[in-house]
Amino acid sequence: MKITDLRCAMLGPFPVVRILTDAGIDGLGPVEHTKPYIAPQVLQLRDALLGQDPTDVERVMLRIRQRGAFKPWGAPISAIEIALWDIAGKAAGVPIYKLLGGKVRDRVRVYNGAIRTPMTRFEPEDYAENVRLMKNAPQGFTIVKQGIGFHSDMKYEFPDFHYGESRRGAFHGWIDRGPLTERGLKHIVACVEAMKQELGDGIGLALDCGPGMTVPDAIRLGRALEPYNIMWLEDMISGDYVPFVNADVYREVTRATSTPIHTGEQIYLRQNFKQLIETHAVRVVGPDPCDVGGLAELKWVAEYADLHGILMAPHGIANGLLGLAALVQVCATLPDNYIAFEMPWGRPDWWFDIVDGFPDPIVKDGFIDVWDRPGLGVTLNAERARPYLSEADRGFFD
């Protein structure tokens, strides 16, 4: 089997990668909806793929892996890797998880991710109401994650939140940074207390906190929240579109508090997790399969983290329904350090009309049952999807 073409098209806000072969088998790769500009970077890799056997996934990846970088520039490599596994699974007649070593669980735990209600006010009662909605969501989540502090508009809406300069970025991602005021720190703690009172001890609460916090504030916050048994504090120092790791800085925070510290969504390749894991700089890592370099890359990170007693909670909020399918496949194979993955969703709702193969409902009691269809196990319905393609992408399904 040989690769005959590489394509990338926009379906609504989502770039979608498609690899074609001379055997009539194609593969699909997801890209976050926050990266509509990524198609040229994908297509620049086309010549490196043509004529290659897509089922030799690692051999193909060796040809292109060096062309990626930290988020967002790991996205083209990651989408291609997932599409290759989709082809390999279809060719073998097995789901991707079989090719990654087989599943160790029949269902995978998820947390709310893209299922959330936007907030316009950031008082404790507003946070309590917001998590109440997530607690009562039909998906039955057992873990809820909420953005606070620098990973929310709290930094703009709460007066005198921090001493730093307040500025809004031109692109997706957080750029505010600076020391918290005493009022700002107390406000975060009050909001967390309100959320925990609403959720009780039956639903775990994780917090997305930055990036943007200073080390002293991160330590103060971690210690202040120790009585609340928070699942993790995520990306306090770096994260999102920050092109570095800062393992030594995270280690200082981790050693100062029993509250678990989490990072990793922006990191590309296993090598860039090495220092985080080997120095025990965090308690939880969260690579995104659509940024880290793909599914096998994510599994490698999870296995290495497990050897060092570090937990795994993959990122995925913006990966869409194809990314959801990819996360189900890889998370079924991860070791027991796996907690849950951040669940993507279909936006706009017509995405649910153009993707075939999902169970109904997708999530039950906070879990997704692992399906057994070949490859990703879901497919794009070309007839229903074509009306949503731009004029420039009309030939995507040809």
Over residues 232-273, the pLDDT tens digits come to 999 999 999 999 999 999 999 999 999 999 999 999 999 999
Q: What's the whole-number mean pLDDT along residues 286-305?
A: 98
Residues 6+ apart with CB under 8 A from 171: 241
CATH number at residue 331: 3.20.20.120
Three-class SS string for 99-132? HCCCCCCCEEEEECCCCCCCCCCCCHHHHHHHHH
Residues 6+ apart with CB under 8 A from 394: 386
Same domain assignment for residues 54 and 70: yes
Question: 398 lies in a domain?
Answer: no
**In the predicted model, is pLDDT for residue 169 greater than 80?**
no
Question: Checking DSSP bridges between strand 341-342 and strand 311-312, what pairing results, if any?
Answer: unpaired
Question: 277 lies in a domain?
Answer: yes
Question: Looking at residue 168, what is its pLDDT?
Answer: 78
Question: 80 lies in a domain?
Answer: yes
Q: Distance between CA atoms of 317 and 115, rounded to whole angstroms?
A: 9
Q: What's the whole-number mean pLDDT along residues 33-54?
A: 97
Question: 7 lies in a domain?
Answer: yes
How many folded domains does the chain comprise?
2
Q: Distance between CA atoms of 96 and 91, rounded to whole angstroms?
A: 11
Question: 273 lies in a domain?
Answer: yes
Our measurement of the distance from residue 396's CA atom to the centroid of its chain's CA atoms, rounded to an integer in Å, reads 26
Range of the domain at 111: 99-375
Same domain assignment for residues 89 and 108: no
In angstroms and rounded to an integer, the radius of gyration of the C-alpha atoms of the chain is: 21
Count the alpha carbons within 13 Å of 343 in the hemisphere toward its beta carbon.
24
Length of the chain: 398
CA-to-CA separations, 198 to 61, 137, 204, in angstroms, rounded? 46, 14, 11
Same domain assignment for residues 249 and 385: no
Average pLDDT, rounded, for the chain: 97
Q: What's the whole-number mean pLDDT along residues 213-219?
A: 98
Same domain assignment for residues 219 and 337: yes
Same domain assignment for residues 72 and 126: no
Q: Distance between CA atoms of 14 and 35, rounded to whole angstroms?
A: 8
Question: Looking at residue 283, what is its pLDDT?
Answer: 98
Question: Looking at residue 176, what is its pLDDT?
Answer: 86
Q: Distance between CA atoms of 353 and 385, rounded to whole angstroms?
A: 8
Over residues 338-362, the pLDDT tens digits come to 999 999 999 999 999 999 999 999 9
Same domain assignment for residues 199 and 335: yes
**In the predicted model, is pLDDT for residue 221 greater than 90?**
yes
Q: What's the whole-number mean pLDDT along residues 79-105?
A: 98
Same domain assignment for residues 331 and 385: no
CA-to-CA separations, 231 to 132, 223, 277, 288, in angstroms, rounded? 18, 14, 18, 18
Question: 324 lies in a domain?
Answer: yes
Same domain assignment for residues 103 and 52: no
CA-to-CA separations, 89 to 195, 329, 353, 395, in angstroms, rounded? 42, 11, 24, 25
Question: 311 lies in a domain?
Answer: yes
Question: Looking at residue 74, what is its pLDDT?
Answer: 98
Same domain assignment for residues 158 and 303: yes
Same domain assignment for residues 333 and 384: no
- The residues with which 10 forms a beta bridge, in sequence order, are 15
Same domain assignment for residues 269 and 365: yes
Q: How confident is the model at residue 175 (pLDDT cuts 50, 70, 90)?
A: confident
CATH number at residue 47: 3.30.390.10
Question: 247 lies in a domain?
Answer: yes
> Using DSSP, how many helices (H) and how many strands (E) does the chain show?
15, 14
**b/e per residue, 16-28, with b = 16+ CB within 10 A?**
bbbbbbeeebbbb
DSSP 370: P
**If we measure between CA atoms, which residue out of 270, 243, 278, 264 comes closest to residue 342?**
264
Question: Looking at residue 127, what is its pLDDT?
Answer: 98
Same domain assignment for residues 51 and 176: no
